[in-house]
Structure 1
């Protein structure tokens, strides 16, 4: 059953929110693509200085520019909305360890997810925006600048992809059900021995390496792959890595949980999303979780899934 969404904050309609997000997202895409190519970015942002010339390089410049563009844009579009804005770039100033933000409605932003891929030129980087209500995501936006895909997910109303002309294409989950047929989408860089052992234990049908969590989840939404596994402890992904990808997957009817079935929670006072997290098209999710939990009990008995 598709989860139902609470109403948006007072004075904010779904249509007004989408109308504001579209130009903000495509503007962010243009900014990132310019920095990725060493070109002059639009909207008045300065060209990146190289580290040799006293700058921090294109990643930091792009991060900060898109962060400012999105935060200013949301604030200007909805000056009286009753929400708080949090991004990866502002987290150090805003957050106190162990203390959740006093926010019923919270935007969680990642202006550039997939920095290694951004630098390496693979094109597999993304922008994440998620609106969280009482620790659970209700709206998610995953922007893939190089693919020119803008994924919107509204929990209770579905998920779709738009191009720059706002022409929609629908989610196309695969029909694969048996674990031996499922295709895993995995990281190129964040893989350790435990994850390799877990993948081997699940005996899946194949795997595909893709950067950025947003890009990974998009492959599930397109039907190219079926599941993604995150397995980590202290160096775990953060709220801004997972909230928007979870929202678009959840709104599409997929699932994104801990291996023991627990929901991911946001704004808990700990931004780390640690444990064995499984994202999937939902059709074999229970079996995936059960077998993953059993396998992890043998691979690393003390690991909290």
Structure 2
């Protein structure tokens, strides 16, 4: 798609926001009938669980994209990659936090990201049950249900509230480095998947640190976090893109990011 009226890639990304909301609405409609129901659970090749809600939500979003933007690429957790080398690529995680969804915790999220030449420029974090929707577009202030959000102003590790999904995702040296950071922080709260990043964007957490993430896990999060004033990189401080190594360091402020990176890098 050419940029209308000589728009930059960042401003052009905002043109896709109405469709991104429709994708989130379609995913909500597919997911909610299965919430706290006795639905069947399958195990994928990597032993992670998947349900009809995951598959139905991604199918609904893919159908919309195929109808509206057939030239765009799609990378989805459940149904793979189509035209992944396109200029614009949508990255879909229909139910991030499937285990939370299965047990009835309202902390799972639908993640909808948009890449331009491999870099995240638009993201939606949608929590269907609580009807919370965070939106981030590059170079714009992020919002929660239409209201601007901002990360905290914490700059010292000793005051930082640290979050991560679970110790099982921090093996070996990654776990050792995380433990060194954890010892310096005020406290740690475990669990939450993508919801951790949404809460950091609204000032709840000050640091989120994880490893082993895949593109569909983080693509939508980057614009939301950065539009709220936070920083989101890999553990070395590099900007995240489609080929990143899966390590993620998110901080509410630049000072906090630098202090955490010194312990993780």
Same fold (TM over 0.5): yes
- Once superposed, which parts of structure 1, at least 4 consecutive aligned residues long, lie more than 6 Å away? none
> Would you say the 8 A contact 2:153–2:252 is kept in 1?
no
Instruction: Note the C-alpha offset of 1:199.
Output: 3.6
1:287 aligns with 2:259: yes
3-state SS of 1:158 partner? coil
Tell me, in whole angstroms, the C-alpha distance in 1 between the residues paired with 2:122 and 2:229.
Answer: 14
Aligned position for 1:209? 190
What is the CA-CA distance between 1:281 and the residue it aligns to?
1.5
Residue of structure 2 in register with 1:70 after alignment: 61
Task: Tell me the TM-score normalized by structure 1.
Answer: 0.73
**Relative to 1, partners in 2 of residues 1:36 and 1:75: Cα closer, same or farther, differing over 3 Å?**
same
What is the CA-CA distance between 1:187 and the residue it aligns to? 1.1
| TM-score (structure 2 length as normaliser) | 0.83
Q: Which residue of 2 aligns with 1:113?
A: 96
Retained in 1: the 8 A contact 2:126–2:134? yes
- The CA distance in 2 between the partners of 1:6 and 1:33, in whole Å, is 34
Partner of 1:303: none
| Residue pairs, 1:170-189, within 5 angstroms | 170-188=148-166
Q: What is the DSSP-based 3-state SS (H/G/I as helix, E as strand, rest coil) of the residue aligned with 1:22? A: helix
Q: For 1:1-45, what per-residue CA distance to the aligned partner results, in whole angstroms no more than 9, with x for missing partners?
A: xxx962566xxx735x33233243133223212112329xxxxxx
Name which of 129, 133, 143 aligns with 2:126: 143
1:110-145 C-alpha deviation (Å, 9 max, x unpaired): 111111111121111111111101121011111111
- The RMSD of aligned alpha carbons is 2.6
SS at match of 1:146: coil
Alignment of 1:1-305 (within 5 A): 6-7=9-10, 14-15=14-15, 17-38=16-37, 59-76=50-67, 78-79=68-69, 82-91=71-80, 94=82, 101-162=84-145, 168-188=146-166, 190-192=169-171, 194-202=173-181, 203-212=184-193, 214-231=194-211, 236-266=212-242, 268=243, 273-274=245-246, 276-283=247-254, 284-293=256-265
On the 8 A contact 2:30/2:57 being kept in 1, the answer is yes
Deviation at 1:237, TM superposition (A): 1.9
SS in 1 for 2:51: helix
Number of residue pairs matched by the alignment = 249
Give SS of 2:205's match: coil
CA contact (8 A) 1:257 1:278 kept: yes
The answer as to whether partners of 2:162 and 2:205 remain within 8 angstroms in 1 is yes
- Alpha-carbon distance between aligned partners in 2 of 1:226 and 1:246, rounded to the nearest angstrom: 15
How far apart, in 1, do the equivalents of 2:261 and 2:63 lie?
40
What is the rounded CA distance, in whole Å, between the counterparts of 1:150 and 1:50 in structure 2? Answer: 26
Structure 1: where are the runs of 5+ without partners?
A: 40-47, 52-57, 96-100, 163-167, 294-305
1:43 is matched with which residue?
Answer: none
Aligned equivalents of 1:262, 1:23: Cα separation in 2: 32
